[in-house]
Structure 1
Amino acid sequence: MTRHWTPLALAYLVLAIAGLVVTWTFNAIAIAEGNDFIGDLVSSGPAVSSITNDLLVVAIAGSILIIVESRRIGMRFAWLYIVGSAVTAFAFTFPLWLAMRERRLAARRAQSVRHETPPAGTA
């Protein structure tokens, strides 16, 4: 079977890697400085609270999309992306899921083309 790494899947994969590196760079700084991560999110003023709630709503909507779309196209273990976001970052797991979704769709397209093409020598 072909690997199905389309340009779009690769773009999502690059975003996933960037999301992991960027978020964990700041997480490491916060841990090294002994910061109260959750406390900082909710008590550092209206701007931080705004973006925190903004991203929380997006993460919830994205999690619903992950479950619904994964079921629709037959991707297994979709819940791992959501659980993984709690220990890494949604900025990592969501683009990673998008990359795997794109690969799944490319594989389905390739399979569909194979089933539609008549075997050589028959016409």
Structure 2
Amino acid sequence: MTKHWTPLALVYLALSLAGLVGTWTFNVLAIVGLRDFIGDWVGSGPAVSSLTVDLLVAAVAGSILILVEARRLGMRWGWVYVVLSGLTAFAFTFPMFLAMRERTLQAGRVAAARRPPGARFGAGSR
């Protein structure tokens, strides 16, 4: 069972657990305190803290994904998306990265389709 757990998978799992514990700690405080969950979003309170933890954990996991995936696909400047998320918003930079990732993947698919069938595996692989 443990042979498929890579270090990266364990990091994502730890972030997932941190997100669950962090958000639900504040959710329980909101429930026990009979807080207006939606009203707290525009005011303050445990609901705001829950949302903050939720978004922070998602942004950290997404930033790791950006860095790992950009490197895997050979996308230069992957770290810029992470830096820009602090200057703009992760809600902007993450979808932008996903769009650029899809373009990179599509370019690879098009290039692979244009190669002659024997060239896909290199010379001497027949």
Please report the TM-score for the alignment, with normalisation by the length of structure 2: 0.58
d(CA) in 2 for partners of 1:63 and 1:73? 15
Structure 2 unpaired stretches of 5+: 1-40, 119-126
Q: Is 1:47 matched with 2:47?
A: yes
- The amino acid of 1:67's aligned partner reads L
Equivalent residue, structure 2, for 1:96: 96
Q: Equivalent pairs: percent with the same residue?
A: 62
Tell me the alpha carbon deviations over residues 39-70 of structure 1, each in whole angstroms, 9 at most, x when there is no partner: xx9x9210000000000000000000000111
4+ long deviations beyond 3 Å: none
Q: Alignment partner of 1:64: what SS?
A: helix
Opposite residue 78 of structure 1, the aligned amino acid is G
1:6-25 to structure 2, matched below 5 A, reads none
The root-mean-square deviation of aligned C-alpha atoms, in Å, is 1.8
1:60 paired residue number: 60
Task: Describe the SS at the equivalent of 2:75.
Answer: coil
Q: Which residue of 2 aligns with 1:112?
A: 112
| Aligned mates of 1:57, 1:116 — CA distance in 2 | 45
- Structure possessing the higher relative contact order (Cα contacts under 8 Å, 6 or more residues apart): 1
Task: Give the number of aligned pairs.
Answer: 77
Q: Is 1:78 aligned to 2:70, yes or no? A: no
Stretches of structure 1 that go unaligned for 5 or more consecutive residues are 1-40, 119-123
Distance 2:78 2:99 in 1: 13
Cα distance between partner residues in 1 of 2:76 and 2:85: 17
Q: CA deviation at 1:109?
A: 0.3
Mapped to 1, the partners of 2:91 and 2:52 lie a distance apart of 13
The structure with the largest alpha-carbon Rg is: 2
1:117 CA displacement = 5.4
Letter paired with 2:47: A
